[in-house]
Amino acid sequence: MATPRTVAFHTLGCKLNYSETSAISRLFEDNGYLPIKFEESADIYVINTCSVTDFADKKCRKTVRQALRRSPEAFVVIVGCYAQLKPDEIANIEGVDLVLGAAQKFRILDYVDDLSKAPGKGMIKAGEVKEANTFTHAFSFGDRTRSFLKVQDGCDYKCSFCTIPLARGKSRSDTVDSVIERACKIAALGVKEIVLTGVNIGDFGNGTEVIEGIKPKKEALFIDLVKALDEVEAIERFRISSIEPNLLTNEIIEFVAQSNRFVPHFHIPLQSGNNKQLRQMRRRYKRELYADRVASIRKAMPHCCIGVDVIVGFPGETEEDFLETYRFINELDISYLHVFTYSERANTPAAEMEGKVPMGERKRRNEMLRILSKKKKRHFYEQHLGQKRKVLLEATQEKGKMVGFTDNYIKVLVDQDPNLVNTICSVRLEELLPETLVAGTVTQLSSAFLTI
């Protein structure tokens, strides 16, 4: 019997990319290939790329070099958002053999068997993004503890800084019944927590196929999906990865507050706390609506974790504009920030706007908000000292301890016990250390540490 060809994967970017990488890995495995770690010598390397920042090219080149150092004769395949946006640029990277666009990446096996090493530019199979018009199922599976389940893809919004619609196409979704079926399949693998992911999951329900020129009636709403998943007893936790503030309705908030399985954790993109900037970004809300969403969550779930995305250095952002955003976030009762330094993306309206902010100033503003994020997170953690919370423990190790997360997304370190991997334990949160919140007496544990 011949030794199976080996294939290794590396993912850059978001949870959605991780779910799709895992789905592509299963395609290879189902066809006789042997998936191995990216750090090993493989016959084929598949790199799933991101396009959110201008570091995409640099990260892609670095990852290609790493792969070929391990296995100089390996085939290198590039997929993902960057591959759709800049196929020629990627094909000219030394060592790249194949570039697949958004509509081609799940047909990867149609191409790899015919690859041959040849000098020069790699092969490109990337059509127009409108060809990416159907929904393809995907979910991640690796550590048995948590799975990222793709429920939606593409985006119909036209934010002036974003390339995702150019890379992934129009908004389309799985069906409720299909999501339920996949959730049950994931549960059968022993997974305890599912994170719902997509490009714009609050826009769920557009149907599995986009028909050019026709805006179909929604087959369901995101709240319908949430209610249906809450009945899936085999999964103990569902987590919403990220949802736009204008799509986060009071009905969703109130349902999560009394849900059996949806955890008290929302990640809500803000991008700016300044209405002038929000208009220039073409966001679909004002800061007042955002503040109202946060207040509604806090009223229904005082213990809820609320994460925020924010962009600094967007064109036209004056010092006073930034300080207005800073003050707005400082006054919001949120738990942490993901801070992004604006970077110009080709073919976006923002790239042509006047008032470019010097890179040094962008970095300074980024650092100010990162410091604010640490203060917010510490305050959020301090509010939970002395409380008991449920923690899902992972195989991951840090500082000689096991890692876990509470339902409301507090990171915890506990004394090692292999028998507790992928179990939910009751933990008393008793001590806060730098970067770590520590838990003491526990129902099943003698000591534990919570990490910021």
Backbone angles phi and psi of 173, in degrees to 5: -140, 165
Beta bridge partners of 193: 146, 237
pTM: 0.92
pLDDT mean over 434-440: 60
Percent share of the chain, pLDDT over 90? 73
Buried b (16+ CB within 10 A) or exposed e, 227-265: bebbebeebbbbbbbbbbbebbbeebbebbeeeebbbbb
**Residue 214's pLDDT is what?**
66
Q: What is the pLDDT of residue 446?
A: 40
Lowest mean pLDDT among 2-6, 64-68, 320-324, 330-334: 2-6
Say whether pLDDT at 449 is over 90. Answer: no
Who has greater pLDDT, 73 or 116?
73
Looking at the predicted structure, is the pLDDT value of residue 160 above 80? yes
Pick from 224, 197, 203: which is nearest to 157 by CA? Answer: 203
pLDDT at 440: 52
Taking the CA of residue 90 as centre, how many other CA atoms within 13 Å lie in the half-sphere pointing to its CB? 33
Q: What is the mean pLDDT of residues 438-447?
A: 51
The mean pLDDT value for 357-364 works out to: 97
Tally helices (H) and strands (E) across the chain: 13, 20
pLDDT given at position 58 = 81
Residue 437 confidence class, pLDDT cut points 50, 70, 90: low
Tokens of 256: 């999560």
Whether 333 shows a pLDDT value over 70: the answer reads yes
End-to-end CA distance of the chain: 50
DSSP 7: E
| DSSP conformation letters of 156-194 | ----TT--HHHHH-S-EE--HHHHHHHHHHHHHTT--EE
CA 317 to chain centre: 27
Please provide the average confidence, as pLDDT, over all residues in the chain: 90
Q: What pLDDT, on the 0 to 100 scale, is given for residue 1?
A: 38
Q: What span, in angstroms and rounded, lies between the C-alpha atoms of 59 and 44?
A: 19
The pLDDT > 70 percentage for the chain reads: 92
Q: What is the predicted pLDDT for the residue at 445? A: 45
The reported pLDDT for the residue numbered 216 is: 67
Is residue 146 helix, strand or coil? strand
